[in-house]
Structures are given as C-alpha cells and as structure tokens.
Structure 1
Amino acid sequence: MSTLAQVRLVILQYAGDFREAYNLLAESGKQEYFSHQYTINSSIEIGRQIDEVIHFCCKTSSEYSELLEPGLRAVGGNLDPYKEPRRLLKLLEEQKPTHLVVHFPLVAAFKWAKQNNVKVIGLFADSFQGSGLSAKLRNFRLSSTLNNEAVHLVANHGLSACHSLKNIGVKPSKVIPWDFPYEITPKDFAPKKLGKAAIDNKNIVYVGRIVQTKGVNDALNALVELKQSGITPNLTLIGKGDLDWFKAEINRLGLNDQVTLVGGLSHDQVLTKMRWADIVLVPSRHAYPEGLPLTIYEALTVRTPLIVSDHPMFLGKFELGRDVLMFPEKDVAALARCIETLLTNAELYQTLSLNSADAWARLQLPVKWHQLIDQWISDTPDSRRWLFKHSLERCSYQQQQLSSSRLQPILTSS
C-alpha cells in the first residue's frame, strides 16, 4: 500500500479494549487473545502509511481518546452501540474518518458512513441465521444495507459465516472470506495419546465467553449426568462473562470439586491449558452467532481432541469420529456420551489427535485481515481485482462439505 497521507481509518469494534491490549503487549510482551499482537502490529504498519488508524472500541469501562504512538490512536466509547446509537455516531463524527471498518453488524454505522460520504466496509466474525419473524426482518434490513453500493465489501471469518451472509441475501460478489495468519501450527506439537490416569482424573477445558448461549450450562449438566454413573472428570472454564451466576450454578449442581472457573488468561496460558487438557470442549448453542471460534483452531493446533456442538457454522468442516466428536446442541446426554467415549476409547482418542493437523489445514484461508484493509484503502485497479478474485462468487478455494452420512451413532441423540 502506497503512502496515503489524507486517509483517516476508524476501525469500529463492539467489545474489547484496544488500549488495554496495546499496553499489555508493550509492558509484558503478552496478549490476552491470539489475534491481539498481529492486529496491533498490522495497525502500526498501516498507520505509518496513512494519517491515522483509530481503533474505536464501544464497550470499554471508560470514555477516552489516546494517541498510542504516531499514526495509531485508541478511542473508548463506554457505551452500548445498539442502545446509544446517537452518542456513538457523535463520537464517531469527532474522529473525522475518511474510511470506516465496521467489525460488527451495526446498520446505523453503515448508514452514517453513507450519509457522510465516508468509505465503509464490514469486516465480521459472525454468523447470520434465525427463522423467526424478528430474525428475518433484522437480516433483511442488514442485507439491504450491505448490498448498497456505499458499502464496498463485506468480509466474514470463515467460509460458513460467509455463506450465512449470502443466505440472508448479501451479494456473493461483495462477500470475502478472511482469516488470521497463524505462527504456531500443529507441526509444533506431537500427537497425543490417552493417558493411563483414571477417567476421574481426566481434564476438560472450555475457552470462551462464560455465558449460557455458548453452552456452558450444557457442559455443567453433562458433568451431572456423568456423575450419576460414577464418572467425575474435571472441567476448567476459561474466559470472561457471567462469572458470578456460574459460580452459583456450579455450587447449586454440587460440582465445586470438579469445576474450576478461572476467568481470563493470557493467550500463552490458554494454549498451555489446552495442550494439558485431555479434551477441549466447544458446546455453542445455535443461538450464539459464531463465525468459527479461534478455540477450534487452537485445539487442533495443540492436538488435543475436540468435542463440538452441531452449530451450523461447524457443520461440514470435519469428518466426525475422525477429526472431532459432535453432539446436538443442548443435548446434555449426548454430550455426556461423547465425553465418556473419548475418555475410554484410546484408539479413537489417538485418531482425533493424529488427524487434527489435516483438519486444521482444511480450515485455512488465503486472505488475511491486514490484506483486506490494505487492498481496500489502496483502491487501485489491481487492488479491486484482487478483492473481487477472492470474493465468495469467484474464490476457487471453497471447501467441499463433508458428507453428513459420516456421523457416528455416538454423535446423535438417543
């Protein structure tokens, strides 16, 4: 990307705190989430070639605007963008952007950009589904907004998430699948075998938002189901969210001796815990707007066998019983059977770990976060051709869906 001094790029995020992530990395060299260091370094590089990159995070604990270094600014809104759109748009206007990247599906932000002649793209990590009337109306409003010529492109994390945009009516010529670059890969870890320790000493790890729609309740109730059969593996819950509510729920279910609620950890600690664990669990309910969670990539990276729900964004990604085990969302009994099977079947366990590298490789995509922004800002004939070449309409790397006939009996409802 050539130097574009008059470009002021605002990257609008729903949650997180860019200033906090920047300071943590500068002071300790650590990152809370895998993508923080990459995003920060990419933003610094982009900021050297334009007037300023501004990371505007809505749901911060305070309102602030701070220049982190030349060309890179962090803004905290301390607001809910869906409940306080006028306040958000006022703060957004104060940044005087020429270009706007919207990281979540806020229609008001796209309309504001159009009204103020600000160039805008969507760069999501969400799925878009729902069959109810309210969901259909919401998705129609969103797709109509995104299809407007004022929105140059709409990227989404992973192919399935991109297809969900297409399914709600967004033009596939505008939709681009994207991913992060990964420095740590499955080649850095040896495949695992099921340890000889008793099943009661086995360890399950969950990493993500500690909320009900991520299926954390289902994981707890699966432990209750197993406990009735005398099987008591341990569960470590890592992440932020409704911690007080879940502490009470763990106590109510009598799982204090089995469940550890640790809150947030740095990314290197998360990888260590996932490698240490016997199972990584991703029990997301369909209601949660998953793209393709990084927890899945990371579990495959460290070669720890995965149990996942049948969330629409996970379907067709894996050969079940070879790459992962899968259970129907909310089906506590099926989840319990998956856990018991994986912790008692050494051959199956080794198979999942051995095949994790191939499963990880199939998820990789060529377009990265910084490339999308670079090419879009450049806005040359070559960059426009590059973006269109990687659109959902044109991309040649779309993966074939794996046959649902490969579902194993242990993965279905009883």
Structure 2
Amino acid sequence: LVISGAAIDSRKVKIGDLFFALPGEQVDGHDFLQQAATNGAVAAVVKDDYSGEPFGLELLRVADVREALQGIARQMLEQRSSKVIAITGSIGKTTTKEFLATLLGGSFRVFASPRSYNSQLTVPLSILMADGDEDIHILEMGMTHEGQIEKLVSIAPPDIALLTKVAIQHACNFLDGISGIAREKGMIFSHPKTTLGIVDYETHHLDEIVKVGDCPKRTFSMVSKKADDYLELIPGGVRIFAKGEEPMEIRLNLPMKEIYHNFLAAVVVARSLELPWSVIQERARLLKLPPMRFEQIEKQGILFINDAYNANPDAMKAAIENLPKPQSGKKRIGVLGEMDALGMYSEGGHALVAEVALEYLDQLICLGSRCEVMQKIWHREKKPVMLCQSREEVEEQLKKCVEPGDVVLLKGCRACGLDRIVDIF
C-alpha cells in the first residue's frame, strides 16, 4: 500500500491519500468514506467499531482517530532530521511564518504549514503533508483552550520556539483572562528539546513567560532598546540593532507598523539559524502578506483594506490607525464586525475600538450585537454609525454611502465573513 498524502476533509482528498475519518460535533468523517474513495483515497483510519462499507479503501482501525492522527505525525517527525520552528501568539502567527519561510527559502529546504493550519488537527496534518526531506519545518501553533499548546508541543517538539504577542483572544475560555492566555501561550517554551525561545519584549506577563522551560530566551521589540533585538523605522526601510552586532539596515516597505514587528520576529529566528544579513537583505524584497492581512484591493475607484481574517482589540486598533488616507474630500469608512470570544473584555474591547475609530474614521458600519456599545459611543459624538445584524444588511448600507475615492476597512471575527463584501463591487 503506497500512501502519498493525508487528509481530514473528504472534499480535499487527492489520489493516494490516507483519509482520517474524524468524528465531529456537526458531522462524522465516517459518513464521507465514499466521497474520500471517489476522490482518490487509498486507505482510511476509522474507529475500531466502524461496521459500514469500506468503499474499496484499506481500513486501519484504531480506538481514537484523533489520537492516531497526532501519534502518526509525532512518529513521522521523530524519524526526520529537520529542525522544527514553532510559532504561536495571539497576533501575527501566519504573517511571521510566511515571512520566515521566504527569508529561509533560498538557503534551506523549508516546509511551512499551509494557510493558518495551527489546530490540534491541522498541525499533525501539516506534518503529514511535508515531503520529509526538508531541513526545516515551520509550524504554527494556535489555541482556544488551556492545555492545547502543550499538546501541540508534545506532537511537534520545537528546536526554536517563537511567541509573537499575547493579546485578548479566546479570553472567554480563561477564567483569569489575559493571565491565562499568556500562561498557555508560554507553554511553547516548555519542551526539553527546545534550545531557544524568542518572545516579544512588550508582551503581557513577560516575567512569567521567560521562566517557562529551560531554554534561553531572546527578546525583540520596536519600542524598547532594552530588548535583545530592536527595530526602528527609517526612510525606505528599517534599522535592526541585534545584541552584540553592528546595526543593520534593510530596505523594506510594509503597509503598517505592526507588520514590521512580524518581520523582526522572523529575522531573529533567521539569525539564530545563522542566515547571513546579506541574504536577509536580499530576500526581504520577496516578502508578501498572506490573504486578508491588510490586503489592499481597488474596485470601482474604492480602496478596500481587507483585514478580515480575524479580530481582537489590539489588531482592530492597529488596522484603524494605519488606514491609508482617502482621496481629497472623500471618506474613511470602517466596516467592523464584532469580536467574539473576548469574555470579560468584550464590552471594554469594543468600546476601545469605537473610541479609536472616532479619531480616524468618518463613518462606521458595525455587524453583530456585541457592537452595540460602539454604536452608543458614536451616537454620543453625533457621528454617522449603523448597527447591522447580517452581512447582507451591511452590504446594503455600504452601497448607499460609499463613493469612488473612499477607503473602506473590512475587519471582524472570522464568523462575520466581511471579506466577501469586496465581491459585490
């Protein structure tokens, strides 16, 4: 039996794949074995009590399909000689991963997990998708609940671990709020295999985070020169001050300050792998942002800023503050969806965004009941605001007010689907 890949979604199965029939809250992968077989799967991992049709598939029976996926990924990684770089954080994981893959790609054989594959299922799936002969695996590690980072680290122990930034994300699942989020994110440094931990100098609860694990920690910052690596913006690029080295200038043009923070994080990892500065300078010209990360799209004379992948108060604030100026006499319109999973920070987080938006935006269209506080704040200041309960209503209101020359920011939690609004123009 020759297996050439793996899949957990029957719709994405390719010829030669091993299909993992995962049980889910809404659907059960065992119900899609026929579709997996039709699409080219040669085998499937199923629960040991599955009694249905095999549909021509070689069935591998296990007690727990999820544990089997994670266990196989762990074993495959153990058999490889590649270094593992793990990236976590509330903001910037995917962008940092893509930047790092670009910087390293000319000097190493690199596998980077696709898109935002960072969950308990997609991290092991990423490992199975790699060829296996790479020098470096770059893996995102995300979490929504306590214990998930530690689990991912046990599946893919990192040689180098990076924590980009801790922010208010998934706070509804942590009774102690940002403290719990920081504690969980810090577990990225907990494995004894990890030889270096890299962390944002300004992140919440840094003092506690740097104590996790035995690996030495290296800090980076765009604010404090006390960090081991400090980046300052200069005309046409950046200047990086790395501890023990001469300052290095790199030509670079990115759309917002926070994305330079992701670049700095990637550079620190690259330098820890002894990538020469000359290579970093050359490869920096090739950097591209992932989709829906401050993506600029012009349609019908309107500039849309599609930053709709996800949202938390810090990311919302950064996007609003970095919006390009509209054409003379035109508007900056914020189409902002609610931020889910903020828990105890929900009302305060939405209020903060509304206050920041007052300074930078001319008009506000909100989506979702959590945005009621934003509407109240804008009403208080007598600025034009509309609270909508569906994306269709948002589209209707936007069509009424937007004009050529305007700049429109699209940002909200993933469930809002605000990126689709661009398609109606």
Shared fold per TM-score greater than 0.5: no
The higher relative CO (CA closer than 8 Å, separation ≥ 6) is in 1
Please tell me whether Structure 1 or Structure 2 has the larger radius of gyration of its CA atoms: 2
- Which band: TM-score by shorter chain? 0.3 to 0.5
TM-score, structure 2 normalization: 0.33
TM-score, structure 1 normalization: 0.33
